[in-house]
Amino acid sequence: MKFLLQRLAFYVFTAWAALTINFFIPRLIPGDPVTSLINKFQGQMSTEAINSLYVLFGLDKNASLWSQYVDYWGQVFHGDLGLSFTFFPTPVADILKQSLPWTIALVGITTFASFMIGTSLGVIAGWRRGSIMDGLLPVTTFLSSIPYFWLGLLAITLLAGPNSFFPSSGGYEPGLVPGWTGSFIGSAIQHSLLPALTILISSVSGWILTMRNMMVTVASEDYITVAHAKGLSERRVMVSYAARNALLPNVSGFALSLGFIVGGTLLVEIVFSYPGIGYNLFQAVGAKDYPLMQGVFLVITLSVLVANLLADVAYLLLDPRTRKEG
Amino acid sequence: MKTPVLEIKNFHVDYGLGPEAVQAVRDVTLTLHRGEVLGLAGESGSGKSTLAYGVTRLLPPPGVISGGSVVYHPPTGDSYDVMALTDAELRKFRWAETSIVFQGAMNSLNPVHKISTQMIDVIRAHEPQLSASARIARAQEMLKLVGISADRMDAYPHQLSGGMRQRVMIGMALVLEPQVVIMDEPTTALDVVMQSQILAQLVELRERLGFSVLFITHDLSLLVEFSDRIAIMYGGRIVEQARSVDLYKDSLHPYSEGLLKSFPALRGERRELAGIPGSPPDLRGMPTGCSFHPRCPQAFERCSAEIPVLGVPAARNDPTRSVACWLPGRVPVVQKG
């Protein structure tokens, strides 16, 4: 329990540091969001309007940096992340609320599936090393060396097209209204197949490789020999003795990859014009949309932190050696 | 007359296949009698652990059993060859009839499972008809016998000391009350005090439960203390076999003599430690004839030419001992093979 509280304190501190950096970065880079917004409106703005924009973005020149900082925290706690330029005057929070489910659904499910499939295959490949399963390794190593955005481009070129079952871009059929209707969900699934497959193929091999190698390492441990000597069934030795121990490093890897769900597949979303958070970031960078960028960074930071916390908890549950006495 | 419980006959183990193979165990014939402690001693690399792994068919690749049989005599029913068992039969045989305590006390327990889980899963695998509470009771009883209190049942291996872990392993080895317990240097990782405590406990347990022990160690003086018979291994072969007292007082093979002089005796008068000059033979290129001859102070021409046969020495009419040596008075009565 004490360990968990310590970790929690650490994460609170990290979150504070990340948010503070998030506050300072736009104030340190040359030019400011208002200038770029003015440029967008091509100077057709009154001085009052410009001044009120500065206040709106928390960049009031009359306010001290400290009071800006305090205001910033107040806004963050209210979920107010400012207004987006690209989709002016939609609040950033609304945009994120819209795109986050897409990313979590697509990348979350594929990351989980990739981890489960890769780990299971890795367990078998490691346990039966020297068998046909080892032929899988060069293939997976090759696949893992392919960048997934390139794989995505390849998939679009080869599989998608006007008459193909696979749509080449977007998250759903343009005419449909998002909602819990059968046709919408069907369309969303159809649109997610190619990006999901791309991510799955390029990431599953990493899990296979690490799990197989850990299995081979663990298989030579004394307690595996003891488990065999005890006359336990092959399955029980493989699952409860070998895989159970080999899984530990992979679990932390998995938790970390959960953190990168939000930000890590930016390129896939760009390639497929998928309405997720990575695509938001791409648009924000293109339009110098600082508030949106800040918002996306904030979400990425928080999700990495939450994922790390999950990894700590998972490790605590899975490995008794990390638990402290008392 | 003692009855045999495990008969190892003409046992060969190779590492690797074909002409490149390293012969780690050659033509070993050894009999373990019911209720006795048979010591198996030798230097590192003499093949004693390989023999233990081979007999239980636990050899990791590239180890291959290239010949011989291991006949097990259950207390009731027909004897059978362990080498001929199918995988399912072998799983049943393991631990229930022959259990093993391994060298590494520290790593023999799975670090992520509780002691109780690891004790109970072996009971469940072999006696599935037993109820959960009966399993726990059995595990508790066994741990109590080896001096681990019931409240340590739910401890994880890392929460126990090295000595406690080895006690747990011994308790686990006995939990199904097997006929044979093979102990592969069970006390090497422990300090001397813990070593003698555990051995004393082992002797006591053996009297109570009546199992036989094949005790493998390089520490000959330890064997002299508590085993009934001793077999000495060198270069993959048994070079001498005798009752412990006889071997200690009057060893016949020059190698046994060298081994005895390499350790201080636990009791008795002080004597000079000598050691054996040279190093153990390279298994890839064994010397011709008796593999010990390059290091033997008493070697003569015949030793490098012919492999000595293990047999009862002609000069002593004592069927309990045998030796493989060409020295006068040690040549066997009847030369076999």
> Would the CB atoms of A232 and B107 count as touching at under 8 Å?
no
DSSP-derived secondary structure letter, B313: B
Residues of chain A in contact with residue B170, where contact means CB-CB under 8 angstroms, are none
Chain region(s) in chain A for CATH 1.10.3720.10: 93-322
Residues of chain B in contact with residue A230, where contact means CB-CB under 8 angstroms, are 94-95, 99, 121-122, 125, 172
Q: Which residues of B31-53 are buried (b: 16+ CB within 10 A; e: fewer)?
A: bbbbbbbbbbbbbebbbbbbbbb
Q: What gap in Å lies between CA A11 and CA A303, rounded to an integer?
A: 11
Among the partner residues A233, A245, A248, nearest to B125 by beta-carbon distance: A233
Tell me which chain B residue has its CA closest to the CA of residue A234.
Answer: B91
Length of chain B: 337
> Would the CB atoms of A321 and B158 count as touching at under 8 Å?
yes
> Would the CB atoms of B156 and A244 count as touching at under 8 Å?
no
Q: What gap in Å lies between CA B167 and CA B194, rounded to an integer?
A: 10
Task: Please count the other Cβ atoms lying within 10 Å of the Cβ belonging to residue B65.
Answer: 19
Mean pLDDT (chain B, rounded): 87
Among the partner residues B91, B93, B107, nearest to A233 by beta-carbon distance: B91
> Would the CB atoms of B112 and A225 count as touching at under 8 Å?
no
> Would the CB atoms of A228 and B126 count as touching at under 8 Å?
no
- The answer to whether A325 faces chain B, any CB pair under 8 Å, is yes
**pLDDT of the residue at A59:** 66
Give the tens place of pLDDT for each residue, A263-301: 667 888 888 888 888 888 888 888 777 788 888 888 888
Half-sphere exposure of B180 (CA within 13 A, CB side): 27
- The answer to whether A222 faces chain B, any CB pair under 8 Å, is yes
Q: What gap in Å lies between CA A190 and CA A272, rounded to an integer?
A: 13
Q: Give how far A55 is from chain B: nearest CA, Å.
A: 57
Task: Please count the other Cβ atoms lying within 10 Å of the Cβ belonging to residue B228.
Answer: 17
Among the partner residues A222, A228, A244, nearest to B107 by beta-carbon distance: A222
- Contacting residues for A157 by C-beta, under 8 A, at least 6 apart: none
Instruction: Return the CA Rg of chain B.
Output: 21
> What part of B 169-198 touches A (C-beta under 8 Å)?
169, 172
> Would the CB atoms of B95 and A244 count as touching at under 8 Å?
no
Tell me which chain B residue has its CA closest to the CA of residue A325.
Answer: B159
Among A223, A239, A244, A250, the strongest candidate for a mutation testing the B interface, having the largest count of B CBs within 10 A, is A223
Tell me which chain B residue has its CA closest to the CA of residue A324.
Answer: B159
Q: What is the DSSP string of A154-178?
A: HHHHHH-STTSSS-SSSSS-TTPPP
- The answer to whether A175 faces chain B, any CB pair under 8 Å, is no
Q: Could you say which architecture CATH assigns to the domain A93-322?
A: Orthogonal Bundle (1.10)
> Would the CB atoms of A240 and B113 count as touching at under 8 Å?
yes
Residues of chain A in contact with residue B159, where contact means CB-CB under 8 angstroms, are 325
> Would the CB atoms of B111 and A241 count as touching at under 8 Å?
no
> Would the CB atoms of A225 and B56 count as touching at under 8 Å?
no
Question: Where are the alpha helices (H) located in A132-276, listed in sequence order?
Answer: 136-144, 148-159, 182-219, 222-229, 234-236, 244-264, 266-271
Q: Are β-strands B212-217 and B37-41 bridged in parallel, bridged antiparallel, or unpaired?
A: parallel
> Would the CB atoms of A325 and B159 count as touching at under 8 Å?
yes
Please determine, for residue B263, whether its predicted confidence score (pLDDT) is greater than 80.
Answer: no
- The answer to whether A320 faces chain B, any CB pair under 8 Å, is yes
Q: Give how far A109 is from chain B: nearest CA, Å.
A: 29
> Would the CB atoms of B104 and A325 count as touching at under 8 Å?
no
- Contacting residues for B249 by C-beta, under 8 A, at least 6 apart: none
> Would the CB atoms of A229 and B58 count as touching at under 8 Å?
yes
- The answer to whether B230 faces chain A, any CB pair under 8 Å, is no
Please determine, for residue B1, whether its predicted confidence score (pLDDT) is greater than 80.
Answer: no
Confidence band, pLDDT 50/70/90 cuts, at residue B90: very high
Which residue in this structure is represented by tokens 């007292």? B245
Residues of chain B in contact with residue A223, where contact means CB-CB under 8 angstroms, are 107-111
> Would the CB atoms of A222 and B122 count as touching at under 8 Å?
no
Give the tens place of pLDDT for each residue, B292-327: 988 888 888 888 888 888 888 877 778 888 899 888
- The answer to whether A164 faces chain B, any CB pair under 8 Å, is no
Q: Give how far B157 is from chain A: nearest CA, Å.
A: 9
Q: What gap in Å lies between CA B286 and CA B234, rounded to an integer?
A: 11
Please determine, for residue B240, whether its predicted confidence score (pLDDT) is greater than 80.
Answer: yes
**pLDDT of the residue at A61:** 65
**Contact at 8 Å (CB) between A293 and A95?**
no
> Would the CB atoms of A240 and B56 count as touching at under 8 Å?
no
Tell me which chain A residue has its CA closest to the CA of residue B159.
Answer: A321
> Would the CB atoms of A227 and B110 count as touching at under 8 Å?
yes
Where are chain B's structural domains? 4-97+178-323, 106-177
Give B4-97+178-323's CATH code, choosing from 1.10.3720.10, 3.40.50.1470, 3.90.1150.10, 3.40.50.300: 3.40.50.300
> Would the CB atoms of B99 and A229 count as touching at under 8 Å?
yes
Residues of chain B in contact with residue A236, where contact means CB-CB under 8 angstroms, are 121, 125
Confidence band, pLDDT 50/70/90 cuts, at residue B336: very low
Q: What gap in Å lies between CA A234 and CA A298, rounded to an integer?
A: 48
Give the tens place of pLDDT for each residue, A55-97: 776 666 667 778 888 888 888 888 787 777 777 778 888 888 8
Confidence band, pLDDT 50/70/90 cuts, at residue B71: very high
**pLDDT of the residue at A152:** 85
* Residue percentage of chain B with pLDDT more than 70: 96
Q: Structure pTM?
A: 0.80
**Contact at 8 Å (CB) between B83 and B23?**
no
Among the partner residues B100, B104, B156, nearest to A229 by beta-carbon distance: B100
Tokens representing residue A221 in the block: 């441990």
Residues of chain B in contact with residue A249, where contact means CB-CB under 8 angstroms, are none
Could you say which residues of chain A have pLDDT below 50? 326
Among the partner residues A229, A236, A240, nearest to B95 by beta-carbon distance: A229
Q: What gap in Å lies between CA B175 and CA B1, rounded to an integer?
A: 28
Residues of chain B in contact with residue A222, where contact means CB-CB under 8 angstroms, are 102-104, 107-108
Please determine, for residue B337, whether its predicted confidence score (pLDDT) is greater than 60.
Answer: no
> Would the CB atoms of B110 and A241 count as touching at under 8 Å?
yes
- Contacting residues for A233 by C-beta, under 8 A, at least 6 apart: B91, B125
> Would the CB atoms of B95 and A231 count as touching at under 8 Å?
yes
> Would the CB atoms of A320 and B122 count as touching at under 8 Å?
no
**pLDDT of the residue at A326:** 42
Task: Please count the other Cβ atoms lying within 10 Å of the Cβ belonging to residue B261.
Answer: 17
Which residue in this structure is represented by tokens 């121990």? A245
